[in-house]
Amino acid sequence: MTDMHLAHVLDSVNPALNFSVFVAFVLVTLVIVFRASRNSKTAADYYAAGRSFSGAQNGLAIAGDYLSAASFLGICGAIAVNGYDGFLYSIGFLVAWLVALLLVAELMRNTAKFTMGDVLAFRMRQRPIRAAAALSTLAVSFFYLLAQMAGAGGLVNLLLGIEGEAAQNAIIATVGVVMILYVLIGGMRGTTWVQIIKAALLIAGAGGMTLWVLGMYGFNFSAVLADAVSMEGGKGEALLAPGAQYGINALTKLDFLSLGLALVLGTAGLPHVLMRFYTVPTAKEARRSVVWAIGLIGLFYLFTLVLGYAAGAMVGAEDISSAPGGVNSAAPLLALALGGPVLLGFIAAVAFATILAVVAGLTITASASFAHDIYSNVIKKGKTAPGSEVRVARITSLVIGAVAIVGGIFAKEQNVAFLVALAFAVAASANLPTILYTLFWKRFNTQGALWSIYGGLITTITLIVFSPAVSGSEKAMFPDLDFAFFPLSNPGIISIPLSFFLGWLGTMLSSEHDAKKHAEMEVRSLTGAGAEKAVSH
């Protein structure tokens, strides 16, 4: 298989089979979502699935939320093309869970609320904090949605054999419509079951391919590495050592440090991950769900190491880079090399299922934040008619779906792992400092929270817009334009410390402080006392 050429690869694709498997997945999951929707009557049902999932179920759902198109498509491609440096994405994504487990998961669950805005507003002025938290949630969700939709558009030519811009755009629109159906019909309960099914399929598919590859090489991973190194058109020995992508000069090393900070600190600030902690009944189950998630995600990332190098060895970095979808096509091309059109059909369905499930989770998080924080608590000041909040959430999901479709069409040529890294940068800069200060700093107040959220958000987005990722380079979003002045592709190394500093400065320049509310929140977050009462309301 090492001399397989791209033309032969594309001729081997069976679009009808791929499409059939994908449609079967969608139909089965829609039935499950419809059955789950019969229990989604209240806001707690719609936002938090009635807090009815066990730690193991929620851990699998978290893995489903977290193992996005970036994890499966982008990282496998990054490893195939850049070797060791590509695997650093996996390391960052996995290590980040320790921050979530040790500092955030249990404490967030004990507040027994629906959104990040609930936690931040517990001891501060409601309306400005909720507005800021909702805006930040929408920004993170938008970048993450772009990544998933880009993955869908980049795969369509390869998996369905359809050529042209219009075909890619149509597939992106289809993904968006199905995603909206999941959210409208099933709410959090329905999307959680979709995540569980998708995670099981993804881990099983990746595990099966890993065993297949290792079996072909006599379970000798060194032989896989040797073939990847010797593959014509690749980077040779550079694949096995640091530096193929981020070690070229001092600037790329600094860019990697910035990326690493964003990946490790961003997870604990991702709104769609934080919202998962509210779907379990107790803090103990929240801890268990994170432990399950760490185990499953760690296992999957070990699979990506084998699959990435195997794609480099059996397909070749040159063919991967020139295929429709670019580096995102590494895993599907490897499936085709291993098992032909049938395995490609299954992996294609899993890839699309991955995208569908994650965008559904992001959409319900963003719509919940707008409906619960902006509509219910800012516009209506907490005085909403029964059912109106959930109705607004469903309407919002339609708008978010439309925005995601349009954004995905414009971003379809981007590397999905890179787009997700930008989402992590926003989460690490705008959300995490405020969450940690709120949970652990007694003196923290409304002004500090606003300065931290808006400062981190504005700084991150500004530096991204004026970075080489958007203009001024061949791989930029707008390669023909050049308005970049910030030299790094990921702004985390600047925006994260700045957000922490602004939170501290804003707090120190304000005399506002509610010691009683902080004490109440501290007791609740550390012990869970009062949490069940909040659930009953």
> Alpha-carbon distance 316 to 232, whole Å?
7
pLDDT tens digits for 13-39? 667 777 777 788 788 878 887 877 766
* Segment 196-208 mean pLDDT: 89
pLDDT of residue 211: 94
What is the per-residue DSSP string for 406-468?
HHHHHTTTS-HHHHHHHHHHHIIIIIHHHHHHHHH-TT--HHHHHHHHHHHHHHHHHHHHTST
Domain boundaries, position 101: 1-114+144-413
Of the candidates 144, 139, 161, the residue with the CA atom closest to the CA atom of residue 411: 144
pLDDT of residue 11: 60
Q: CB neighbours of 506 closer than 8 A, spacing ≥ 6?
A: 445, 447, 448, 449, 450, 451, 452
Q: Reduce the DSSP state of residue 212 to 3 states and report it.
A: helix
Q: Which tokens sit at 512? A: 């506002």
Q: Which tokens sit at 453? A: 């959220």
pLDDT of residue 330: 86
Region label for 51, one of left (φ > 0), alpha (ψ between -120 and 50) or beta (otherwise): left
Give the containing element (helix H, strand E) for 334: helix 330-369
Residue 254 has pLDDT above 80, yes or no: yes
Residue 213 has pLDDT above 50, yes or no: yes
> Alpha-carbon distance 504 to 427, whole Å?
18
pLDDT of residue 190: 79
Helices (H), 234-329: 250-266, 271-274, 283-314, 317-322
How confident is residue 535, by pLDDT bands cut at 50, 70 and 90? very low
Backbone angles phi, psi at 471, to 5 degrees: -150, 165
Residue 517 lies in a domain: no
Region label for 387, one of left (φ > 0), alpha (ψ between -120 and 50) or beta (otherwise): left
pLDDT of residue 529: 65
Which CATH number characterizes residue 90's domain? 1.20.1730.10
How confident is residue 100, by pLDDT bands cut at 50, 70 and 90? confident
Residue 323 lies in a domain: yes
Residue 350 lies in a domain: yes
pLDDT of residue 533: 46
Contact between 435 and 449 (Cβ < 8 Å) = no
Of the candidates 120, 39, 119, the residue with the CA atom closest to the CA atom of residue 503: 120
How confident is residue 319, by pLDDT bands cut at 50, 70 and 90? confident
Which one-letter amino acid corresponds to residue 52? Answer: S
Residue 351 has pLDDT above 80, yes or no: no
> Which of the two residues, 59 and 322, has the higher pLDDT score?
59
Hey, which residues does 478 pair with through a beta bridge?
471
> Alpha-carbon distance 297 to 496, whole Å?
25
How confident is residue 494, by pLDDT bands cut at 50, 70 and 90? very high
Task: Specify the number of domains making up the chain.
Answer: 1
* Segment 246-273 mean pLDDT: 83
Backbone angles phi, psi at 115, to 5 degrees: -130, 170
Residue 221 has pLDDT above 80, yes or no: yes
Residue 436 lies in a domain: no
Residue 1 has pLDDT above 50, yes or no: no
pLDDT of residue 299: 92
Q: How many CB atoms lie within 10 A of CB 200?
A: 14
Mean pLDDT of the chain: 80
Residue 199 has pLDDT above 50, yes or no: yes
> Alpha-carbon distance 482 to 471, whole Å?
5
Q: Which tokens sit at 243? A: 């530096």
Residue 49 lies in a domain: yes
Q: Which tokens sit at 522? A: 């501290």
Q: Residue 475: CA atoms inside 13 Å, Cβ hemisphere, count? A: 11
Q: CB neighbours of 417 closer than 8 A, spacing ≥ 6?
A: 70, 74, 75, 77, 78, 89, 147
Tell me the CA distances in angstroms from 164 to 155, 310, 517, one per residue in order. 12, 29, 58
Give pTM, 2 decimals. 0.82
> Alpha-carbon distance 519 to 517, whole Å?
5
Contact between 340 and 12 (Cβ < 8 Å) = yes
pLDDT of residue 500: 95
Lowest mean pLDDT among 206-215, 218-227, 277-286, 448-457: 277-286
Residue 493 has pLDDT above 80, yes or no: yes
* Segment 245-250 mean pLDDT: 74
Positive/negative CA dihedral, 378, 380, 384, 387: negative
